[in-house]
Chain A
C-alpha cells in the first residue's frame, strides 16, 4: 500500500505544465473531471494501452516518473482529446510539454534521435524534407507514384512554372543565422552526440 505523506501531494508538475509557453491560455488541466471522454475518442488508446485520462491523473498526482515513461510517446498529436474535453483540458498539449521535459533529459533525446534528419535538412537546405531513411517506407505506403514524384520533381515544378526548390544563397544564410540564434543548431548537435554515443555503445 502506498502512503500519501503530508506535504507530498503538491501541484508542482501541473503548475509547470500550465505555465509552460506551449500551454494554451486557460488550459483546463486542474479542472479535469476524469470523465474519460478524451480516452473514448483517442486512436492511440484504441491500439495501445495508452490512456490520455490516466496521463492527466498522473500529472495531477505529481507522478514525476511520467516524464521518463515511454507511454507519453504513444500520442500522435491528433488533437481529438483536445476537441472534446468538456473542461478545455488538452492531453495533446500536456504530452507535448511532457516530451519537452523528457528531451531536456537524455531519455527524450533518444526518442527523437531518428528525426534528426528533419533538422539537418533545415540546416542544409533551409526547408523541411522527408529523411532518406523513410523513403522506402513511404513508397510502400503511398505506392510507386511517390517514387515517380520524387524522381521527376524538378521537371514537374518546371512544368507548373514553380522554379527550382533550392533556396538562393542569401536566404539560406539568413535561415542559418536564425537557427543558430534560436539555439536550434546547438540542439541538433546535442542530439547528434547522444545518437552517436548510442551507436558507439551498440
Chain B
C-alpha cells in the first residue's frame, strides 16, 4: 500500500489501543463468535463485556484506559447513532474524538445468520475501526459564542416586532430604517380588519404603542434615514457599515412646531400619502413620525435658508454630513418589507390614464382621516362621492405575462373586503362590485367574507380584460363567468387590487448580505416547512413581507419566530461538533475556490484569511475536492482516516470472498440501521462506512479501494436538493476514472436513500452484490482467456 497518500497527521510511532467488545446480552454474541473475534484483533487490550453501555462498564472502561495507559479506544458494539454520545463520555479521560465505533449489531449480527461469515465480517468491521482510530486527533467541541446583539433591517411592523422581542430577551438591537421615520407600510394602511369582531380597527392605534415601546427600550437603538452599505462575516458575527444620511435638523432640538415647513417654497409629492398630496422639502412624514422631528429632503431642498431663519430652536444646520456607523452584531434580521406592484405595467386597466382608477393603497390613504381628503371618499377627478365603485382583483398577481407576478399576493382579497365593508358602513349608497378570479379568504377570514356579503357587496366572478370610458363613465369589461355572459360595467371609480412585490430595499439588502432570493425575488427561506425564518446564511434571518406576500398577523408571528431563532444562537452559546472543514493557512493561496463551491455559504474571506463558519459547515467536503492546494481537511474525516477505514475493511480478505464497500451519509446510515432493527438480511459482502456526504470522496479514494481488494463500491445518500447536483457530478467523475483505470464502471453505483425506504436499500444491496459478481465473472473469463493464450 502506498503510504504517501496519507496526509500530514501520521500516527505516532506507537499507539496503544484498547478494543472493548460488547456481547449485548446475546444480541451480538449469539451470532458472532466473540472468542474468535477477540483473537483476531491486533491491539494492546481486547476485552469483552456483557452490556457495554451500562454504568458499571463505564467505570471498567475508564479503569482499563488508566491502568493500561491507552491512547485510543475502539468500541465494537451497537450503532453509533444510538450510543456514540454515551461512549464518548465513557472513554474520558481520553478525548472523546479518540474513540471509534464498530457497528456489530445493526450491521452484522442482526442482518446475518451464518455465524462463520458474520464473525469474519465482525473482524473486518472492528479492524477497520482500529485502523482508523490510529489517525484520530483530539478535537474540542466548538463553542460558538455569538455576540448578544442584532441588527434588524427595516422598521415596519415586522422589524419593530422582532426588535422588541429581542430587546426583551436581553439582546441589544440596532434597528436600521431607510426612511426618516419608522412605521413602514402598516402606518399607511389606516385600517386593519378583525375577523372576530367583524369590524375595521385603527391600524395606527395598534402599532403606535409598539413603536413607542421600541423607542423607549434601553436595548433598542433606532437609526433612521440610514442604509446598510457593507457587511462582512467574522467568526459567526457580522460587521456592518451603516450610512446615515444627514437630516440637517438636530433631532434633540427640533420641537416639531412646523414653522419651517410653512416658509419652505418647495413642494414635493408626499410619498406617505401615495403622492396624492404635496409636502415641503422640509417635512415630517406623518404626524406620529418617530423620531418626532422634521427632516430636510436633500434631493429637493434648494438651500434658500428660509426655514433656518424661522426656527426658534436653532435646530437647522446645513453643514451636517453623512455619518458612517460601524456595527458589530451577532445576527441580522431582514425585515425590509414589500412594495405595491407598479400598475402602469397593466396598461389595459387605465391606471394613470384615468384619474378615477386608483390602487387599494391609494384608496387606503383617501379613506385615512390623516389623508388627502381627511378621510372622505371622493372621486379624484371631481371630488364627488362615487355612486359605484368596482374593484379589480389580482391586478398584477396570478399573472404569468412577462411584467406580472406568478404568485397570489395573499392579502388583496382581504384588503378589498376590508375597504368594501368600511365604505359600505359610511357610504351605504355607494354600490360596490368586486370582480374576482377566486376569493381567497382562508381560515377565520371566511367570517369576514360572509360579513361583506351581508353588507351587500356585489361579487362578479371574472377577471376584467380592460377599462375604457364611454359617455362620461368608466367601463369595466368582464365576463360574468358564472353566467357565461360578456358584461360592460359602468362605474365612477375603479380600485385595482395591486400585487405585493419585494421592496427595493429587500433586493439591495439581499445582495449586500449575499443571501439567496427565490425566483419571485423574495428572500429565500432555508426550508419552507421546517426553517421558515432562516436564510441560506447562518445567523441571518428573515421575517415579514421581505420573505413573501403575507398579512400583518403572519408577519408578526414570523417576526417573533425570527427573534427566537436569534436568541437561540445567543443564549448560552452553541455547542457544535468539530467535524467541519479546517483550513491549513500555510497551504492556502486565497484563490477562493472553496468559497464559491460551498453550497452552505459556510466559507468566507475575512482579513485576507479564509474562515469557516462552524455552524453553517456540515462537513460535506465539497470544498476539499475543489481546493487545488490541498489546504482543506474535514476534521474526523481526513484523507488518512478515510484510507485507513478502507484498508481496514478490506484487511485479511479470503480467496474468493467478495467485499463491497458501502459509503452512506447520515440518512443512509440510519436506513441501514433500520434494516438491522427489522432483521432484514442482506449479503455479508456489504461493509458500511459512514461519511458526511459522497462529496467528501475523491477518485483517489475510490481507486485506492479497488486497488486494495474492494469488489464493488456502493454510494448511498439522501438526494438533498442543495448538494444533489454535486453528487451526480461526483458519480460521473468516479465512473470516468474507473473506465480510465480499466475497471468496469458497473462495479460502482449510486442510490438515492430515503430513511423510511430501508427495505428498498436492503434490496439494492442484493442487486448490487449480484451485479458485481456478474462483472467479476466477466473479468475472470477475460483473464482466463488471456492466461490460456499466454500458455
Contacts and interface: CB of A to CB of B under 8 A. Distances in A.
B182 to A, nearest CB: 36
Contacts of A54: 484
Given A36-B480, A36-B481, A86-B394, 4 more contacts: A37-B463, A40-B464, A40-B486, A86-B400
A53 interface: yes
Given A33-B438, A35-B437, A46-B486, A40 B466 contact: yes
B462 A86 contact: no
B229 interface: no
Given A36-B478, A53-B479, A54-B484, A86 B465 contact: no
B506 to A, nearest CB: 24
Interface string A16-53: 00000000000010010111111111100110000101
A40 B404 contact: no
A40 B463 contact: yes
B477 A86 contact: no
B100 to A, nearest CB: 55
Which among A36, A38, A54 has the greatest number of chain B C-beta atoms within 10 A?
A36
Contacts of A51: 479, 484, 486
Contacts of B465: 37-41, 80, 84
A74 interface: no
B666 to A, nearest CB: 39
B398 interface: yes
Given A35-B437, A35-B463, A86-B463, A41 B398 contact: no
Nearest to A42: B486
A37 B398 contact: no
B400 A88 contact: yes
Q: Size class of A's contact patch?
A: 20 to 34
A139 interface: no
A53 B348 contact: no
Given A33-B438, A84-B465, A40 B479 contact: yes
Which among A37, A45, A84 has the greatest number of chain B C-beta atoms within 10 A?
A37
A41 B477 contact: yes
Contacts of A37: 462-465, 479
Interface residues of B, number: 23
Contacts of A80: 465
A87 interface: yes
B529 interface: no
Closest 7 CB pairs of A and B: A36-B479, A40-B465, A41-B465, A39-B479, A35-B463, A36-B462, A36-B481
19 contacts: A28-B400, A34-B481, A35-B462, A35-B481, A36-B463, A36-B478, A36-B480, A37-B462, A37-B463, A39-B462, A41-B466, A45-B479, A46-B486, A51-B484, A51-B486, A86-B399, A86-B404, A87-B400, A88-B400
Contacts of A28: 400
Contacts of B437: 33, 35
Interface string A66-96: 0000000000000010001011100000000
A84 B348 contact: yes
Contacts of B478: 36, 40
Main secondary structure of the interface of B (DSSP, over half): loop
B401 interface: yes
Nearest to A89: B400
Interface in B558-585: none
Interface of A: 28, 31, 33-42, 45-46, 51, 53-54, 80, 84, 86-88
Contacts of B400: 28, 31, 86-88
Interface string B432-471: 0000011000000000000000000000011111100000
Given A35-B437, A53-B479, A86 B401 contact: yes
A88 B438 CA distance: 18
Contacts of A45: 479, 486
Contacts of A53: 479, 481, 484
Contacts of B404: 86
Contacts of B394: 86
Contacts of A31: 400
A86 B486 CA distance: 18
Which among B404, B463, B477 has the greatest number of chain A C-beta atoms within 10 A?
B463
Contacts of A42: 486
Contacts of B477: 40-41
A33 B437 CA distance: 8
Contacts of A39: 462, 465, 479, 481, 486
A33 B481 CA distance: 11
A85 B634 CA distance: 53
Which among B404, B437, B480 has the greatest number of chain A C-beta atoms within 10 A?
B437
Which among B464, B478, B479 has the greatest number of chain A C-beta atoms within 10 A?
B479
A57 to B, nearest CB: 9
Contacts of A35: 437, 462-463, 481
Nearest to A33: B437
A30 B132 CA distance: 57
Contacts of B463: 35-37, 40, 86
Interface string B133-160: 0000000000000000000000000000
Contacts of A87: 400
Nearest to B481: A36
Interface in B381-405: 394, 398-401, 404
B464 A33 contact: no
A119 B754 CA distance: 62
A35 to B, nearest CB: 4
Contacts of B461: 36
Nearest to B401: A86
Nearest to A31: B400
A104 to B, nearest CB: 29
Contacts of B464: 37, 40
A41 B466 CA distance: 7
Contacts of A46: 486
Interface in B333-381: 348
Contacts of A38: 465
